[in-house]
Amino acid sequence: MDKHIITRDFMDLQVHICRELELGDGIGSFQEDKWERVEGGGGRTRIFKNGKIIEKGGVAFSAVEGPTPEKILNKLKLKKADFFATGVSIVIHPYSPMVPIIHMNIRYFEMSNGVRWFGGGIDLTPHYVDLEDAKHFHQEVKKTCDLFNKDYYPKFKKWADDYFYIKHRNETRGIGGIFFDRLDSKDPIEMNSIFEFVKSIGYLFPNVYRHFMAKNHALPYSDSEKKWQSIRRGRYVEFNLVWDAGTKFGLDTNGRTESILMSMPPTANWEYMHQTIENSKEAKTLLYLKKDIDWVSL
């Protein structure tokens, strides 16, 4: 597995995703910010500006290398060696509370002692759970997984349910998706298949999100729904800052803070002891923020 090929393909994917999101929004565009890491490597962070549908969006590419920090060695139980890591990470926050937040990340990690693996995932965080949308999203993710391995979707869906869980709130961040890490093989053919699977998740991203952008952005909403969106954005912040391993990895490897925290929403709200109204859309949404829901069979 050639890290230079992986890096090139991830860069190409970033370009493709940005182009598709610009087409889906119709007005906004990405501005690029290239940066270098003192210890080695760098990246290019693209931030969405002046959108019609997208209020804040980031599509970040990075390829960093150097001595592996002790924190990472201890956490991942690795022997001391230099590391190389590259990936594409995306979070989109829409203006409308009827359009979901979406996150996607794919990454490759290797060390000079031969350790290597792929990781990543895609998950959807609607402000209001729409069962038709949830089913569509999971069907599309399953369809992509099944092209490579029939075991991928049930295994990685469960992993996502457990990973994207806000433990201190006893609720999932959204309706999940898939999450996977440390995918590796000593067989070059199988390793290449893993690489193609990882890229396929990246190319799936703009297809599914443009569907939700087109379908939901013109739906009417009120001030109360914007308030709920802000509260749900607060939950998103809580997960990313308290539980997300990617945020911790970036900060522990002296990554670029602005790029790491691009996933934060433009605004969020925390209301003390907030309570939903019984049988409201908000209360019904909370009922679906649970693990192990079979979205495909709804």
The answer to whether residue 138 is catalytic is no
pLDDT for the residue numbered 199: 98
8 A C-beta contact, residue 121 and residue 162: no
Q: Choosing from 103, 127, 136, 217, which is the catalytic residue?
A: 103
266-287 confidence digits (pLDDT tens) = 999 999 999 999 999 999 999 9
CATH 3.40.1500.10 fits 3-287, yes or no: yes
Percent above pLDDT 90 for the chain: 85
Contact 75, 116 (CB under 8 A): no
Model confidence pLDDT, tens digit, residues 68-122 = 888 888 888 888 999 999 999 999 999 999 999 999 999 999 999 989 999 999 9
Q: How confident is the model at residue 130 (pLDDT cuts 50, 70, 90)?
A: very high
Task: Classify strands 171-172 and 176-183 as parallel, antiparallel or unpaired.
Answer: unpaired
Q: Where are the domains of the chain?
A: 3-287
Rounded Cα distance, 180 and 156, in Å: 6
